[in-house]
Amino acid sequence: MKFDIRAVDGVARRGTLALPRGVVETPAFMPVGTTGAVRSVSPAEVRESRSDIILGNTFHLMLRPGSDVIRAHGDLHKFMGWDGPILTDSGGFQVWSLADKRRIDEAGVTFRSPVNGAQVFLGPEESIRVQHDLGSDIAMVFDECTPYPATRDEAATSMERSLRWATRCRRSHVHRRQALFGIIQGGMHLDLREASLQGLMEIGFDGYALGGLSVGEPKEEMYAVLDSIVPGMPSDRPRYLMGVGKPEDLVRGVLAGIDMFDCVLPTRNARNGWLYTRAGVVKIRHAKNRTDIRPIDENCGCPTCARFSRAYLRHLFVTGEMLGMRLCTLHNLHFFQGLMADMRTAIEKQQFDSFSRVFFENTDPGNRVMA
Amino acid sequence: MKFDIRAVDGVARRGTLALPRGVVETPAFMPVGTTGAVRSVSPAEVRESRSDIILGNTFHLMLRPGSDVIRAHGDLHKFMGWDGPILTDSGGFQVWSLADKRRIDEAGVTFRSPVNGAQVFLGPEESIRVQHDLGSDIAMVFDECTPYPATRDEAATSMERSLRWATRCRRSHVHRRQALFGIIQGGMHLDLREASLQGLMEIGFDGYALGGLSVGEPKEEMYAVLDSIVPGMPSDRPRYLMGVGKPEDLVRGVLAGIDMFDCVLPTRNARNGWLYTRAGVVKIRHAKNRTDIRPIDENCGCPTCARFSRAYLRHLFVTGEMLGMRLCTLHNLHFFQGLMADMRTAIEKQQFDSFSRVFFENTDPGNRVMA
């Protein structure tokens, strides 16, 4: 892995992250391919949306189809037909949010599979082994996701365990062409976040992520963590804000010096008929779209807007035709990747300050906030 | 519309049907785009499957989105983003199979909409007007679908009404760039079928279709109608076997001199995970596919077989990811269109007799028959 910063504007960074399977232009947004597919769209369509890298979920994939099936194909890339870079999460977040009857101890997490009720164990070594089997370009350390809110004591105990697990992940990581990123925890307690970062830097990782954000806390708390912690993150390594976010959070994150993001928002909202435009959200099922022959966004260059009307897309949703979800997913992915491309250009031109000011002036939070 | 027969082998015909929006190579198979979409696939993908023409359902489209919405886009082609030829059925079949509380009289059919319960009337003039609004390249006359089984009297009464309706359709048809096809009815009674054909030829149509087949009758009865009636159908006009069918029915139909077919089979079966290959049907959900890294068919040139394994497709079905239905639909459409292309080539080479003999020798009816 080779990370080059090509331009800096304030603390915003424009870079390239060279990985074994391709180059990622940063700041980058990673669509989420939960179970080996970015829902409803093909790998070629993901590529066409200008996505350089996607995220795969270790937790989901280890349960179905199982890492043995993926290993039989070579790796996750060959399994799902995506030849670009993949980042895999560690399963730490999902095991807490999705598994039944989970029990945690120093070794790791024991849980009942939500798929078939079988008892499964996932700890640092197991997560690294599964991610090795998946053959992702970037693996994440297995961490404990600190709930929100958490007292200082709870957050400290959790963060310290995550640090010990990070050490075990680093030790058990033997994949030579796979980068490994550490994950900063500590809840909303800035001193714990700082201690987590220092601990991870002592272990040494190829990149550093902020985890445990966008978990229900007020925006201001997330922004406070960003502004406090990001400046201390190694400037020569990628900085990844996990599970974020809404368009305004992406701009805010880049303003704080973040290089990578992932979120289900563009794909999940598309499947619910919530479509992003610079002028606000289009709710495609709305009756006013019944006879509207305009595209979702007349200024959009996506394949959906090039060919299909709001009335047609509404009709597909109303009749339950899955092509509608797919066409809307394409649009939202193009919107998110277009925003990232515009941010990269603004940084290159040293105009990111004015770009973000104009962006926030034109953004109606009541309309944009749709999670 | 211009129909040219380029080669004849026995009574099998190889032709081209030139329509305002493109040329259809015959014998042709038309995928069904029920409500303005060939379910799960895009117009570009339909085209890539070598489909020259698709079928749209007047009944479904008049209820949703309504012909006013389609007219606002110009025509059905612009509404759904398909710029090739479209044939629309008349709604006669659907009104009988799908509508609630239908009542028929000489004027037409009054029914309650299955969408919203509203009372709707559909008769010959209304069907032609809606098909005019849809702007299809080929319209079909509004007919009464004779149920199976039907006594000779029932079939005769029904056929005669369909003939009177055909006259009204011909009279009310004013679209100058739209062809109009008549539909031969008469149940399984060959003399009634013959009378229907003679009546339609006296009225005069651009093409002639066999309706009311594949409605539950034994294969032998359908084949008897084909062998008895097709030879008398005008040889210089396209002959269309409606709602058929299985691969072996397509071969049998071409052997009898049919030029056009439509059926939901390739698309509907794909969504259920039933995939066609020359070696038989692959049921993709079957557990034996869990670790099978082979494509559906190693000899298939479709985009799905080029890139995705049986194990991956099974995984998509098991996890409920809609991309699976789409990839399988692409495969089945390619299979059907590949069969049509092979038949066209065999006719050109005057080898259709041996082609069909080999086809039936290699076809296991127990495996192929999956409707």
**Cis peptide, bond prior to residue B245, ω within 30 of zero:** yes
For B178-219, the pLDDT digits (tens) are: 999 999 999 999 999 999 999 999 999 999 999 999 999 999
Is B65's CB within 8 Å of A318's CB? yes
E strand residue ranges, chain A:
2-9, 12-19, 22-26, 28-30, 32-33, 54-56, 86-88, 100-105, 108-112, 119-122, 138-140, 179-184, 207-210, 239-241, 260-262, 274-277, 280-283
CA distance A122 to A173: 15
Residue type, B319: T
Q: Is A361 exposed, middle or buried (0-12, 13-18, 19+ CB in 10 A)?
A: exposed
CB contact under 8 A, A311 and B42: no
**Cα maximum dimension of chain B:** 61
Q: Which comes out higher in pLDDT, residue B268 or B278?
A: B268
Tens-place pLDDT, residues A68-110: 999 999 999 999 999 999 999 999 998 888 877 899 999 999 9
Residue A286 φ then ψ, to 5°: -60, 140
| pLDDT on residue B100 | 78
Residue recorded with tokens 């925003």? A339
The token duo for A8 is: 């800096």
* pLDDT of amino acid B160: 98
DSSP structure string for B38-82: -TT--HHHHHHTT---EEE-HHHHHHTT-HHHHHHHSSHHHHHT-
Cα torsion angle, B128, B129, B130, B136, sign: positive
Question: Which of B315, B318, B325, B328 is the best mutation test for A, with the most CBs of A within 10 A?
Answer: B315
The question of whether B143 is a catalytic residue gets the answer no
The reported pLDDT for the residue numbered A371 is 30
SS3 content of chain A, % helix, strand, coil (to 5): 45, 20, 35
Q: Is A242 left (phi over 0), alpha (psi -120 to 50) or beta?
A: beta
Nearest CA in chain B to A324: B40
pLDDT at A100: 78
Interchain CB contact of A69 with B (< 8 Å): yes
Question: Is B227 in the active site?
Answer: no
pLDDT at residue B370, as a whole number: 34
- The pLDDT score that the predictor gives to residue A370 is 34
Instruction: Go through chain B and tell me how many residues it has.
Output: 371
CB B333 within 8 Å of CB B31: yes
Residue contact B318–A42, C-beta within 8 A: no
Residue-wise pLDDT for B133-178, tens only, equals: 999 999 999 999 898 999 999 999 999 999 999 999 999 999 889 9
Q: Does the structure show a pLDDT above 50 at B371?
A: no
CA distance A221 to A305: 37
Return d(Cα A47, Cα A24) in angstroms, integer.
12
Per residue in B217-250, pLDDT (tens digit) is 999 999 999 999 999 999 999 999 999 999 999 9
Mind listing the pLDDT tens digit for each residue in B33-79?
999 999 999 999 999 999 999 999 999 999 999 999 999 999 999 99
- Give dist(CA B202, CA A299) in Å, integer: 55
Task: Give the number of beta-carbon pairs within 8 Å between A and B.
Answer: 100
Rounded CA separation B87/A200 (Å): 65
pLDDT of residue A156: 98
- Structure tokens, B24: 């259809």
Interface residue of A82, A323, A325, A328 to substitute, partner B, most B CBs within 10 Å: A323
| 8 A C-beta contact, residue B73 and residue B112 | no
Instruction: Tell me which chain B residues have a C-beta less than 8 angstroms from the C-beta of A325.
Output: 322
**A325 to B322: CB separation less than 8 angstroms, yes or no:** yes
Whole-number Cα distances in Å, B164 to B124, B159, B171? 9, 9, 11
Angle at which helix B219-229 crosses helix B190-203, to 10 degrees, equals 40
The model's pTM is 0.96
Of B79, B293, B321, the CB nearest to A72: B293
Nearest CB neighbour to A80, from listed B293, B312, B314: B312
- Distance in Å, alpha carbon of A156 to nearest chain B alpha carbon: 37
Residues of chain A with pLDDT under 70: 364-371
Q: Hey, what's the torsion of the CAs at A68, A71, A75, A80, to 10 degrees? A: -50
Nearest to B35 among A81, A311, A319 (CB): A319
Hey, are the CB atoms on A65 and B309 less than 8 Å from each other? no
Contact A36 B309 (CB under 8 A): no
Quote the tokens at residue B10.
């026995």
Match 């679908």 to its residue by tokens: B145
> How many angstroms separate the CA atoms of A220 and A199, rounded?
25
Checking if the pLDDT of B357 tops 60, the result is: yes
Can you list the domains of chain B with their CATH numbers? 2-263 (3.20.20.105), 270-357 (no CATH)
Q: Is B113 near chain A, with CB under 8 Å?
A: no
Distance between CA atoms of residues B94 and B78, nearest Å: 24
How is the beta sheet containing B239-241 ordered, strand by strand?
B28-30, B260-262, B239-241, B207-210, B179-184, B138-140, B86-88, B54-56, B32-33
Residue in B321, B329, B330 to test binding to A, most A beta-carbons within 10 Å: B321
CA–CA gap between residue B265 and residue B214 (Å, rounded): 12
Alpha helices, DSSP H, located in B84-230: 92-97, 124-134, 152-172, 190-203, 219-229
**β-strands B32-33, B28-30 pairing:** unpaired
The three-state secondary structure class of A172 is helix
SS3 A84: coil
Q: Choosing from A89, A143, A259, A297, which is the catalytic residue? A: A89
Contacts of B325 in chain A (CB under 8 A): 322
Q: Which of B52, B89, B133, B143 is catalytic?
A: B89
Cis amide prior to A238 (ω within 30 degrees) = no
A314 contacts in chain B (CB < 8 Å) = 65
**Residue in B9, B52, B259, B262 annotated catalytic:** B262
The residues, ordered by sequence, that sit 6+ positions from B189 with a Cβ below 8 Å of its Cβ are B152, B155, B156
**Which residues of chain B are within 8 Å of residue A68 when distances are taken between CB atoms?**
291
